Each structure stands twice: as structure tokens, then as C-alpha cells.
Structure 1
Amino acid sequence: MDGQARRKRLIEIIRKSDKPVSGTALANELDVSRQVVVTDIALIRANGIEITSTNRGYVLASENKCKRIIKSHHNDDQILDELFAIVDNGGCAENIIINHRFYNRLEAPLNVSSRRQAKEFMEAIVSGKSKSLSSATSGYHYHIISADNEETLDIIEQELKDLGFWLPLDDWILQ
């Protein structure tokens, strides 16, 4: 199987799976090394197909999801409240973005779409193994949130407003 056919098959495997697919499982299925899978994923991404790497494996971004950027402000003790407001209403916190005074725009994937994932994320922060990216900007940050439709995004945004986390977007984020 040549590289192009292998990458097509890789996308097909991830698309058909109802859960993340590990790099090892993909390597075994395609009879290649894990490094070949990593390289193929990079080439696929470079061609505009969104494949996300999670701690459980690779997932294909849903082509039918609506997305919205929101600005938020809260302290680390309120991270779980924010994430629960997103996932309990049918959303996924795809990433976190900060606008650091010296480092400029920094972005990291989250892909939190369930309470369990939110709790796992928070456990890493509470344990001291990690710090929240927003702690570098005194709690100010942005998320790309995805959901099945705009109405769901509206509900999530309203709940974040009700919690006092939501802020209007700055111009730089839209550039």
C-alpha cells in the first residue's frame, strides 16, 4: 500500500471508530511503525483535515459541528464550573487560547466533551502536575467551543454569562 492509500485508510479507520484510536492500534492495522502513523497524521493535517490527538488516541473533528470562540475570565477554582457548563449543555471545549503579554497568542488543545474528561483535566491541575494556561494571564482566556448546532452554543454562552465568566471578544482573536 502506498502512502496516499495508507493515509486514506487511516482517515477511514478513525472516521468509523466511535472512540479515539491509538497510534499503536493504527500502526498495527496498517502494518507500519508508530512513527509512520505520526508522520501520516501530520501530512493529513497539513492537507486541511482536522485530526485531534487526545490522551486516548486520534479522533477526527466532526465536519458538521458548529464552532464559536468565547472569551472567559475566572480563577483556577472555577475551571470545573466552566467546563461543566460547556459539556453539560452538549458542547466540547476544543482548546484554550491566551494572549500573553510577551509570548503573544498561545493555544493548546483540550478536547473536553464530558464530565469525566473535565475532572481528569482538573485532577492534573489540583495535583500540581500541571498549571492552567489561563493562570499566565490572570484567568483571562478564550475557548473554541463546538456543538451540534448554534442553539446549543447560545445556551452554553448564556450559562457562561450567568456564571459571570463570559466576556466580549477582543479584536485580535478574530484576526
Structure 2
Amino acid sequence: MKENLKKILEILSKSKGPVKGKELAEYLGVSRQAIVQYISILKTQNYKVVSTRDGYILEDSSGKIRKMVAVKHSIDDIYNELVSIVNAGGTVVNVIVEHPLYGEITGRLDISTMDDVSKFIALMESTHARPLLELSGGIHIHTIETPDKDTMKKVLEAISDYLIKEVHI
């Protein structure tokens, strides 16, 4: 088991993108359920393995800037918001909404390219899935990641129309 955990970490650390659980299972000669178990073990050992719709990634935000921003817009503005962030050099790591019954609900996005934006919009349309912002009247939080502070500033300027302005108390 220990050897498989090391191999998974090695594969994820060398990968340029998400790695599907099925691929890991085939490579290691184990079941898909074994991969789920291994990933759970790695998470409990504080490895930042993230499950995305496209597979697993080993998160490494070293040297990158992360900021959570509160925004509000309609479903019709999703494409423009994502394009604005990506074109300014940012990555939309996730979306978070506050639900009155379940509390905080987080959806992993990892959108950093125009191709990612297109895939997300196409998936939303083809599955008829409703975006999380519909649960909260359009109000939601994104974690944005950029390579540096200047890029973060550009991203925030690009989405300024959607930002919920900060109120200091």
C-alpha cells in the first residue's frame, strides 16, 4: 500500500493536469475503489490532493497569490465573469455559496484557460445542471489564484462590476 501511495504522489506531482482515477487504477493494477481509498489516506496525511470533475490533482500553490472574492451576478453573466478572470491571467479555483439548510457548499472549478471556460459552459448546458449561484440569489464566493500581486490586481479590475464591495466594520 505504501508503495502505491508513493506512486500516486509521483504521478500527480509530475502531471500537468488532472489524472483520472481510472488511469491511476490501471497503472497500479488496482480497482477504482482502491484509488478512492488511497486518495483518502493521502488527504488525511495532509497532502493536498483535490478531486475535480476531470480527475485528481496535487495542489501546489507555492509562490502563487490566492484571494477569496464575493461576487453577485445572474446565470447569464457566468461566461463573461469566467472569461474576464482567465483573460486577466487568473484561475477560478472554486465557487462557494451559503445555503440556509446545508451551510457552505463548495464546488471545485479549476478554470484557467479559455478551453476550460468553454468546457464548463458546454457541460452546464449539455447536462442542464443549474449553477450554485442560483441557490443564493446570485451571491457567491470564488477563490481566485494568480501568479503574482499585479495579476491579481488585473483580475479584480476585470471583474469589478461583479464584486460585492468590501464593507469595513
* TM score, norm. by length of structure 1: 0.86
For residues 1-175 of structure 1, the aligned pairs below 5 Å read 3-64=1-62, 65-127=64-126, 129-161=128-160, 164-168=161-165
CA deviations over 1:60-81 (Å, ceiling 9, x no partner): 1123232110011110000011
What is the rounded CA distance, in whole Å, between the counterparts of 2:99 and 2:22 in structure 1?
36
What is the rounded CA distance, in whole Å, between the counterparts of 1:109 and 1:29 in structure 2?
25
What is the identity, as a one-letter code, of the residue corresponding to 2:59?
A
Structure 1 segments of 4+ aligned residues over 6 angstroms from their partners: none
What is the rounded CA distance, in whole Å, between the counterparts of 1:99 and 1:131 in structure 2?
16
Secondary structure at the aligned position of 1:97 is classed as: strand
What is the identity, as a one-letter code, of the residue corresponding to 2:46?
G
Provide the aligned length of Structure 1 versus Structure 2. Answer: 167
- RMSD across aligned C-alpha pairs, in angstroms? 1.9
What is the rounded CA distance, in whole Å, between the counterparts of 1:120 and 1:51 in structure 2?
22
What is the identity, as a one-letter code, of the residue corresponding to 2:97?
I
What is the identity, as a one-letter code, of the residue corresponding to 1:37?
I
Secondary structure at the aligned position of 1:49 is classed as: coil
Q: In the alignment, is the contact (CA less than 8 A) between 1:70 and 1:169 conserved in 2?
A: no
What is the rounded CA distance, in whole Å, between the counterparts of 1:100 and 1:170 in structure 2?
22
Task: Check 1:61–1:87 CA distance in 2 against 1; reply closer, same or farther (3 A cut).
Answer: same
Secondary structure at the aligned position of 1:123 is classed as: helix
What is the rounded CA distance, in whole Å, between the counterparts of 1:137 and 1:101 in structure 2?
9
Stretch moving more, 77-86 or 121-130:
121-130
CA deviations over 1:40-90 (Å, ceiling 9, x no partner): 111112222222223332221123232110011110000011111111122
Task: Check 1:100–1:19 CA distance in 2 against 1; reply closer, same or farther (3 A cut).
Answer: closer
Task: Check 1:35–1:169 CA distance in 2 against 1; reply closer, same or farther (3 A cut).
Answer: farther
